[in-house]
């Protein structure tokens, strides 16, 4: 008998049985909100650990029914570039795959209808302090009609490089797919944006699954023995239509690993929306 293979089969079987057990308990108790006990949490961590999934964050236990949200993307097209950036200057324009690219002076802009990218190369950035670089990014956003109010800001400074990230939110929930990023290095400035211009809550609210169940879903997809370290699990919204201009964003549990991989578990159905 191949004992190594048999051992692997037993481990997988044990994990699946635990998933099924949890599903049964969750369904039985669905009408009544409940918190996981210390024993429950210990059992959950044990199952994850047996599958080389290491939890280095707290498991959210508070949740409430959530609706779908209707979203419409902000449009970035040729008219937007001509009106806000070119303004009568001489420029070159060409197509590259889905992008329309504009070159004028030492600047480049790329748009594809729903995303915007700007690049500028100049020696003026070389002698800027970190605070001056942050101010430059903010002034750029304000000057070119790119400012947003519904978002969280994250600033990163590494040596001479300054990066400012904006993440779109709605009623304290993240909306994955809505973001802005500005970064200045020693001699260049880059800015990119993809945002939802309109966000509207639908009327019907539905119950969402527990974060613990979303974590157990990782057992189903993990096929290697490499440790997976979980750094965050958070409830929010995800729009899984990369080229669409509008549609419905669904509630998801977003699980983020130490390496920056993201897994999205549909908070209604428990199915994966996307991984990595």
Q: Are residues 189 and 209 in the same domain?
A: no
Q: Are residues 180 and 97 in the same domain?
A: yes
Whole-prediction pTM: 0.84
List C-alpha distances in Å: 250 to 4, 115, 139, 237: 41, 21, 34, 5
Last-in-domain residue among 160, 194, 228: 194
**For residue 11, is pLDDT > 70?**
no
Q: Determine the structural domain holding residue 90 and report its residue range.
A: 75-194
Contact 243, 70 (CB under 8 A): no
In 3D space, the residue among 203, 194, 174 whose CA is nearest the CA of residue 70 turns out to be 203
Last-in-domain residue among 194, 212, 240: 194
Q: Are residues 114 and 175 in the same domain?
A: yes
Comparing 27-31, 38-42, 54-58, 198-202, the range with the smallest average pLDDT is 27-31
Q: Are residues 128 and 147 in the same domain?
A: yes
Return d(Cα 141, Cα 246) in angstroms, integer: 24
Q: Are residues 115 and 225 in the same domain?
A: no
Q: Are residues 137 and 163 in the same domain?
A: yes
Percent of the chain surpassing pLDDT 70: 86
Taking only the tens place, the pLDDT of each residue in 200-257 is: 999 999 999 999 989 998 988 888 889 999 999 999 999 988 889 999 999 999 999 9
Contact 238, 263 (CB under 8 A): no
Q: Are residues 81 and 55 in the same domain?
A: no
List C-alpha distances in Å: 36 to 26, 69, 274: 11, 29, 26
Q: Are residues 82 and 130 in the same domain?
A: yes
| Positive/negative CA dihedral, 41, 42, 46, 47 | negative
Q: Are residues 161 and 214 in the same domain?
A: no
Q: Are residues 189 and 97 in the same domain?
A: yes
Q: Are residues 184 and 205 in the same domain?
A: no
Last-in-domain residue among 173, 194, 215: 194
Taking only the tens place, the pLDDT of each residue in 170-203 is: 999 999 999 999 999 999 999 999 999 999 999 9
Residues 195-220 as b or e (16 or more Cβ within 10 Å = b): bbeebeeeeeeeebbbbbbbbbbbbe
Q: Are residues 98 and 185 in the same domain?
A: yes
Number of domains in the chain: 2
Q: Give the per-residue pLDDT at 276.
A: 42
Q: Where in 37-172 does DSSP place strands (E)? A: 53-55, 66-73, 92-96, 99-104, 107-111, 116-121, 151-158, 161-170
258: its two tokens: 């130490």
183: its two tokens: 């970064």
33: its two tokens: 């909100």
- CATH number of the domain where residue 248 is located: 2.40.128
């Amino acid at each position: 008998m191949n004992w190594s293979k048999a051992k692997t089969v037993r481990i997988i079987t044990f994990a699946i049985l635990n998933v099924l057990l949890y599903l049964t308990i969750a369904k039985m108790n669905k009408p009544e909100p409940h918190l996981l006990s210390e024993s429950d949490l210990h059992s959950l961590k044990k199952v994850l650990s047996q599958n080389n999934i290491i939890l280095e964050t707290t498991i959210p236990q508070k949740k409430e029914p959530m609706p779908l949200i209707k979203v419409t993307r902000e449009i970035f097209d040729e008219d937007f570039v001509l009106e806000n950036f070119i303004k009568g200057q001489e420029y070159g324009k060409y197509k590259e795959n889905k992008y329309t690219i504009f070159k004028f002076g030492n600047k480049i802009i790329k748009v594809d209808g729903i995303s915007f990218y700007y690049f500028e190369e100049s020696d003026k950035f070389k002698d800027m302090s970190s605070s001056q670089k942050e101010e430059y990014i903010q002034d750029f956003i304000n000057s070119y009609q790119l400012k947003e109010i519904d978002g969280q800001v994250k600033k990163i400074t590494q040596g001479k490089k300054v990066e400012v990230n904006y993440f779109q939110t709605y009623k304290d929930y993240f909306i994955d797919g809505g973001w802005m990023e500005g970064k200045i290095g020693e001699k260049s400035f880059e800015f990119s944006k993809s945002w939802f211009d309109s966000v509207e809550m639908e009327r019907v609210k539905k119950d969402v699954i527990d974060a613990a169940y979303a974590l157990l879903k990782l057992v189903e997809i993990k096929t290697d023995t490499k440790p997976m370290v979980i750094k965050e699990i958070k409830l929010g919204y995800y729009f899984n239509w990369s080229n669409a201009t509008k549609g419905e964003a669904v509630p998801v549990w977003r699980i983020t690993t130490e390496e920056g991989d993201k897994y999205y578990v549909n908070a209604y159905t428990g199915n994966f929306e996307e991984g990595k």
